[in-house]
Structure 1
Amino acid sequence: MSSVSESYKIFLDQFVNEHLSKPPDEKIPPFRLVETQIRPFEVSGHCCEWATQYLYTHRCPVYLLNQICVETVKRVTLTEPYSHIPSPDLDETKVLNDSETWLEARALCDLTFKTVEDIITEWLSEPPTNWVESSEHGGHVVSHYAIKNTRRKMEDRHTMIPLMRMFTTAEAYQDASLYAVYDGHGGPEASYYCAAQFLNNLIGQTLSPTDKAKSLEAAFSKTDADFGAKAAKEAILVSEGRVVEIMKPHKPESEEEKQRIEALGGSVVWHGTWRVNGTLAVSRAIGDVDHKPYISSKADSKTHPLDQDDEYVIVACDGLWDTVTPQEATQLVYEHVQSGKPFQSVAEVLVRAAKNEGSTDNITVIVVFLKQTLSPPTTSEDNESNDEYEDALEEIV
């Protein structure tokens, strides 16, 4: 048995013999439900997110977590949720369609938790013969860490799916991964909904397998239509120690966003920070219906063909980037890895650095390593001299 499979077995054993052995009143649900009612077409997404959050609280390895989620969704959806999950205030004389039927989230969530526990108990006794390990995906190592910080609520959510082929047979996603940070504002409802439904909305697109940018845009639009906070988040790629910005934060003060908002009749004004119509400090979001069209849900994307020089990607919310620059983040990652510390703990280092520098916001960080050997970081002057390299990024949307 490989070391990865062994780590899976250790997790299963600890979960069964430590967590499941507790009295029922001590097995407190890992989170408060954000939604009390859901629609049938949302069942698989919500079940997957509930299972994910349950497993996160017990530090489940990410590849194993994804496998348990896939099996959980399969079992829950096969049990015909329409037949055993009550619909609140349902008029039994009325025939409802999927968009009108509502299911009680708590009953479905409890079923999801029970299914997760059953799967883990079964797999401890008889492990699957087809463990999916990180070595099967080019040796990706993924580090993630998130804290509420000084805020009253944790409004961030995130998604980590190293192997999308575990969730779909669609040709376009057989070699794809999905890493996302949903930076909520004004409450966790929209960011939670994104974490629960965006994956299904993405793989449900029937566009050309080569046109992933349009699929992303369509998935964001559908998620926004189905609900209503893709907010200020940023991603950087580090290649041979150079910082390459692959996504710009959607801030009202950026010239491009300011022009777009003003052309629609809106305004960008200073009120502690730059805000759209004096209210929101982000210019693109899922939700915020009262602020459209000035707040846009249209996705902004770039493509960058990965090559042998690309080392890792950092995806994080503005809780990190407000106090830690990309160059500082790169230096911290390099020093952490060079010191011989685990790759998996580097995200926590970045989060702690942001907090120590004065960040008071929720902080969520994902670091995806594309290779195991890192180059020394370049200086900001070196990065500025590499404009031609950044110009090679092809803007799609």
Structure 2
Amino acid sequence: MLCNSCIRSVIVQAGIFRETRLQLGNIGRSLNASRGINYKWNRQVFLMSRISMMIDSDSTDTRGPTVDLLKEKEDDGGFVSGWWKSEDGELSCGYSSFRGKRVTMEDFYDVKSTKIDGQRVCMFGIFDGHGGSRAAEYLKEHLFENLLKHPQFMADTKLAISQSYQQTDVEFLDSEKDTYRDDGSTASTAVLVGDHLYVANVGDSRTVISKGGKAIPLSEDHKPNRSDERKRIESAGGVVMWAGTWRVGGVLAMSRAFGNRMLKQFVVAEPDIQEQKIDQEFELLVLASDGLWDVVPNEDAVSIARTEEEPETAARKLTEAAFTRGSADNITCIVVRFHRDKIAPSNSQQD
């Protein structure tokens, strides 16, 4: 999707970007570039720094231990998969990841569970790297950790998600400031707090729910040719060009991402967030990298997943379907199934 040499050569040839020198100091220092980084971004990073300083403040939340639910196994076909089920039996998830036709694996994923103030909190994430795997790996290691530390996580979950996404982007760029790497990553996450679901997205990974048998996307891919994204990029001084597909500066095929230092003025990590209340019509949730969505429409994904009772089997079936249909990318999928209708009625009578 992207390589460092490609970025440098296209930027020089196009003559549309001024050389910037991104200086990221410790959290608490503002983000500055030699040219082109606007006031709004500097102020945003300042706010992220303030948030970081607040993270370790005292909290009245009663928090249980955070459990990493990744119990992976790899079969002879190269598929890595696993599953988890909640103690009350109302929620289960399965995941499957496959390198596919790519030489390297740049997809990462994360599944975590904890309890805060007596409420179950579950987090599911897909991170699709480009130009290298480091950004996606960093998100797996830190994004949910930063979110859980946010002082407003329970009081204002949407705000906490938005700020934690952007804080993590700043921290990743700071961690890479002394390297020559310039990789990036998408993020599509689903955070379940009690009976409220928050889906956040940056890039072209995607989350879809099945509600009453109908496939409903809870995120919209951040593509450079989206009218709102094109307007935002051009207002910041960038351009959207056709180079096999629509790309920011003719380089990056998505308009939002973590990392991508050289395009950071135009390629932001601010997520779109949708909130849903879980009800009896909710059947399952599918999160996946674009290795799936490039060849499997939303309706097909839900249809395939609904044929399997066990979510791990459903996730594996989806990754196999994407590969069979010709996906040339890494393929990673998480399926979350809701089992509220499985609760047995009390005082049942027998004939």
TM score, norm. by length of structure 1:
0.58
Secondary structure, in 3 states, of the residue corresponding to 2:313?
A: helix
Write out aligned runs for 1:1-397 (5 A).
55-57=71-73, 62-63=83-84, 134-136=86-88, 138-161=89-112, 163-165=113-115, 170-171=116-117, 174-207=119-152, 209-228=154-173, 229-230=185-186, 231-337=203-309, 342-371=310-339
Distance verdict in 2 for CA 1:313–1:208, change over 3 Å: closer
Which structure shows the higher strand fraction? 2
Bigger RCO of structures 1 and 2 (CA < 8 A, at least 6 apart): 2
Q: Which 5+ residue runs of structure 2 have no aligned equivalent?
A: 1-25, 27-51, 53-67, 75-79, 174-184, 187-202, 343-351
Please report the RMSD computed on the Cα atoms of aligned residues, expressed in angstroms: 2.7
State how far apart, in whole Å, the 2-side matches of 1:250 and 1:232 are: 6
State how far apart, in whole Å, the 1-side matches of 2:134 and 2:97 are: 17
State how far apart, in whole Å, the 1-side matches of 2:302 and 2:144 are: 29
Give, in angstroms, the shift of residue 184 of structure 1: 0.6
Give, in angstroms, the shift of residue 57 of structure 1: 4.0
The residue identity in structure 1 corresponding to 2:72 is Y
State how far apart, in whole Å, the 2-side matches of 1:52 and 1:178 are: 10
Secondary structure, in 3 states, of the residue corresponding to 1:227?
A: helix
The residue identity in structure 2 corresponding to 1:144 is Y
The residue identity in structure 2 corresponding to 1:145 is S
| 1:116-156 Cα shifts (integer Å, max 9, x gaps) | xxxxxxxxxxxxxxxxx6233x4212111001111111101
Q: Contact 1:190–1:227 at 8 Å: present in 2 too?
A: yes
Q: Which 5+ residue runs of structure 1 have no aligned equivalent?
A: 1-38, 42-50, 64-132, 375-397
Structure with greater Cα Rg: 1
Distance verdict in 2 for CA 1:60–1:148, change over 3 Å: closer
| 1:298-338 Cα shifts (integer Å, max 9, x gaps) | 1110101111101110000110000000111122122334x
Q: Contact 1:62–1:160 at 8 Å: present in 2 too?
A: no
Give, in angstroms, the shift of residue 218 of structure 1: 1.2
State how far apart, in whole Å, the 2-side matches of 1:60 and 1:247 are: 24
Q: Contact 1:316–1:365 at 8 Å: present in 2 too?
A: yes
Which structure shows the higher helix fraction? 1
State how far apart, in whole Å, the 2-side matches of 1:240 and 1:215 are: 30
**How many residues in Structure 1 have an aligned counterpart in Structure 2?**
247
Give, in angstroms, the shift of residue 205 of structure 1: 0.7
Q: Sequence identity, in percent? A: 29
Secondary structure, in 3 states, of the residue corresponding to 2:120?
A: coil
